Chains A and B, each alone.
Chain A
Amino acid sequence: MLARLLQRLLILGLMLLGVSLIAFLVPFVSGGDPVRTILMSRVRDLAVDPAAVEAMRVHLGLDRPLPVQYGTWLWQALQGDLGYSFTSGRPVASEIGRALGVSVTLALTALGIAAAVAIPLGTLAATRPGGTVDSATTLMIQTFVATPEYWLAPMGILVFALYLGWLPSAGWTSWSSLVLPAMVLSLRPMAYFTQVTRATMMDVLQAPYITAARSRGLSMRQTVMRHGLRNGSLPVVTFFALWLAGLLGGSVVIEVIFAIPGMGRLLYEAVVNRDVPMLQGGFVSIVALSILINTIADILYVALNPAVRSGHAH
C-alpha cells in the first residue's frame, strides 16, 4: 500500500516537471515578441525604439539563454514565486491565487447544483426505464447538452437581471452574483451526471444483491437508498472531479460574459496581452490543481468502495 502510494507520488512529480517545461516553453513557441507587444501597448506607437526594447528585454531577464531562464523560473516557482505580470506588474502567484479562489467557488457551486439534481433524477429515471420521468429526463439531457452557454448566459441575464431584476447582471460583488453564472454553468455537467447516474443505476438495480435486499423485506425505495445509491454514485465521483478540473480554467465564456475575475478570464487576458509569466504560472497552477483533484477523487473512490480498498477490484 505504502509502496503504491510512493510510486504514485513519484509519477505525479515527474508529470508536474514535464508540465512545467511545456508551460514554460509555450509562450515562446507561440511566436511574436512579448517585449515589443508590451511596449507597443504602453506607448501606443508601432515604431518602438529598438534601444528601449533591448533595455526592457534585459530588465525582464529575457536576454539570457532559455535553459537558464527555465531553471531560474522553476526554482522560484517551487518557492511559490511565479514572477511578475508583464501587464499589471503585480505578482503572478497572488493574481492566480485570487482568480483560482473565484473559479473554484463558481465551479464547486455549479457542480454542486448539478450533482444535487442529477443523482436523484438519474436514480428516479433508472427505477422506471421508459416511464414519464425517464422520458422527460432524456429530453432534458439532450436539451442541456445542446444549449450553448454563450446563448444561455445572455438569456439568463435578460430574464433574471434585466426583466425580473432579481439578480445582478454581472460582476463579482456578493453571493447573489454567483447564482446566475453557477446555474448556467451547471446545466451541461448536470446533463452528463444524470446520464451517468441513470446508466450506472440501471446496472446496479439489476444486481443480485438488490434482489437479495428485497427478499429481506426492504421496499424498492429503501433498497435504492441503502444499497443502490452508494454503488450507483461511484462513477459520479470520478466525473465530478474531471469536470471540476475542467471548469477551473475552462469557464472562459461564462467568466467573460458575467465579468467574473476568475481563472478563465485571467488566462484569456494573458493570452491576448502576451503576458508570458502569467501564462506560464497559470498553466502550471491549473494542471497541478487538476492532478491534485483527480488524486483526491481516486482516494474518495477507494473510500466509497471497500472492494477496491483491499485490492479486490472486479
Chain B
Amino acid sequence: MNKRDEPLLVIEDLKVAFPGQSAPVIDGLSLTLDRGEVLALVGESGSGKSMTALSLMRLLPSGGAITGGRIRFDGEDVLSLPDRQMNRLRGGRMAMLFQQPQAMLDPTSRVSAQIAEPLRLHRGLGRRAAMGRVLDLLRDVGIPDPAVRARCFSHELSGGMAQRVMMAAALSGDPDMLIADEPTTALDVTVQAQILRLIDEERRKRNLATLLITHDLAVVAALADRVAVMYAGRIVEEGPAKAVLESPQHPYTQALMRCSLLVPDPHGQLLSIPGSGTHARELTCGCRFHPRCSAASQHGLVSRCMRSEPALKPDADGHVTRCWAVETEKETAA
C-alpha cells in the first residue's frame, strides 16, 4: 500500500497476552488513526485500553507480550523494528501522557532535565539550546514562571502542573502522534477541563494525531472525531463520534451512555450497568458482554449470544458494531 494513502497508524488484529492467564488481554484489535485526527478509546477499567496504548509504544509491563497482529506507523512495521529505531520512534514520533502525572516524573531529577531528554535525543540539541527550548515549551503548556518551574522536582508540583510538564516533555520531541492515557482521571475536576483544553489546542496547532483513552463520554463528545468502544479486550463499536454518541448501537455503548452524566436520566437517577466489568483475561464463551446484556434476552438471542461471538459489522457511514441483536434487527428491517 502507498505510504501516502495509508493512515498514520494502522493496528491490525493485535493480540496481547500475559503468560499464565487464561485469555489474552487484547484479542484481535484493529484500529486506524489519521494524521491530525482524534480517536477516543472508551471502556471500563480492565478492558485493555491502556494495554493497547503501551503496545503501540512497545512498553508493556514485564511479562506482557504482543502475541499476534501488526502495528504500522507511518508505513513502518513497529513490531519488527530493532530497539534502536524503536527508541527513535518513542518520544520522537509518538509521545505519551499518563494517568498519574506525578508518579511519571523521576522524583530525583529536575523537571527541566526530563523535558530536555527528547530534545537532546531526537532533535540533537546541546545542553544550552535544549534548556532554552524547555522554557519555551513550559510557556506553551501554560506554566507561569517557567524559569522557576524548570528547576522544580515532581513533588513540588500539583497534579495539573505535573501533567502540563508531561505535556511539555511529550511535545518536546515534536511527535506526529500523541497517546493520552486517561490524562485527566487523577486530576481535580476544575483542572481536568484546563488540561483537556491544552491537549486540544496543542494538537490543533501541531496537527497531532491523538489517541485519547478515557472512560468519560463527555470528553469524547468535546474532543473526538471518532470513537472506539472497548469491552474485554476487543472493540465492540466504532464510528464517527457524533454518530456513536447520538445513536449508539451496541447494548454496552447504550448502557455506558445511560450511566454517563452526558444524558441526564429523566427520573434524576444515577444509573450503573448491572454486574461487574468482564476483565479481558476472564474466559467467556460467545459475546463477551452477554452476561450483562439486556438486548440478548429481549431478542430471545441468549443461546446465540452465549455460543458464538459476533463479528464487527458496518452500516452505511462507517459505523461498525459487534452485536447479534443489532445484526438481527438490520436483517429483519432489510
- B260 contacts partner chain A, Cβ-Cβ < 8 Å: no
User: Main secondary structure on chain B at its contact with chain A?
Assistant: helix
Partner of B121, one of A206, A207, A216, A312: A216
Binding stretch for chain B, among A32-40, A146-154, A224-232: A224-232
Binding stretch for chain B, among A92-100, A131-139, A301-309: A301-309
Which chain A residue shows the least CB distance to B179? A215
A-B residue pair count with CB separations less than 8 angstroms? 90
Given contacts A216-B173, A217-B173, contact A209 B91 (CB under 8 A): no
User: Main secondary structure on chain A at its contact with chain B?
Assistant: helix
- A214 contacts partner chain B, Cβ-Cβ < 8 Å: yes
Contact with B along A294-314 (1 / 0, CB 8 A): 000000000011110010100
Given contacts A211-B59, A307-B155, contact A216 B108 (CB under 8 A): no
Partner of A216, one of B54, B83, B91, B155: B91
Which chain B residue shows the least CB distance to A230? B108
Partner of B90, one of A216, A226, A304: A216
With both chains docked as a complex, state the minimum distance between the C-beta of A220 and any C-beta of chain B, in angstroms.
8
Contact across chains for B107 and A216 when beta carbons are under 8 A apart = no
- B30 contacts partner chain A, Cβ-Cβ < 8 Å: no
Chain B, range 134-188, C-beta contacts under 8 Å to A: 153-156, 166, 169-170, 173
Chain B, range 64-118, C-beta contacts under 8 Å to A: 83-84, 87-92, 95-96, 98, 100, 103-109, 113-114, 117-118
Chain B, range 17-60, C-beta contacts under 8 Å to A: 54, 57, 59
Contacts of A306 in B (CB 8 A): 107-108, 153, 155
CA distance A157 to B171 in the complex (A): 61
Given contacts A227-B106, A306-B108, A307-B153, contact A217 B117 (CB under 8 A): yes
Contact across chains for B155 and A219 when beta carbons are under 8 A apart = no
Partner of B104, one of A208, A219, A226, A310: A208
CA distance A219 to B82 in the complex (A): 12
Contacts of A214 in B (CB 8 A): 57, 59, 90
Contacts of B90 in A (CB 8 A): 214-217
- A256 contacts partner chain B, Cβ-Cβ < 8 Å: no
Contacts of B62 in A (CB 8 A): 206
Contact across chains for B104 and A212 when beta carbons are under 8 A apart = yes
Contact across chains for B169 and A216 when beta carbons are under 8 A apart = yes
Partner of A215, one of B59, B103, B105, B113: B59
CA distance A209 to B100 in the complex (A): 10
- Could you list 6 examples of A-B contacts with CB < 8 Å? A208-B98, A211-B59, A214-B90, A215-B90, A216-B95, A217-B88
Chain B interfacial positions (CB closer than 8 Å to A): 54, 57, 59, 61-62, 83-84, 87-92, 95-96, 98, 100, 103-109, 113-114, 117-118, 121-122, 153-156, 166, 169-170, 173
Which 6 A/B pairs are nearest by Cβ-Cβ distance? Answer: A217-B91, A216-B91, A212-B104, A306-B153, A208-B103, A312-B155
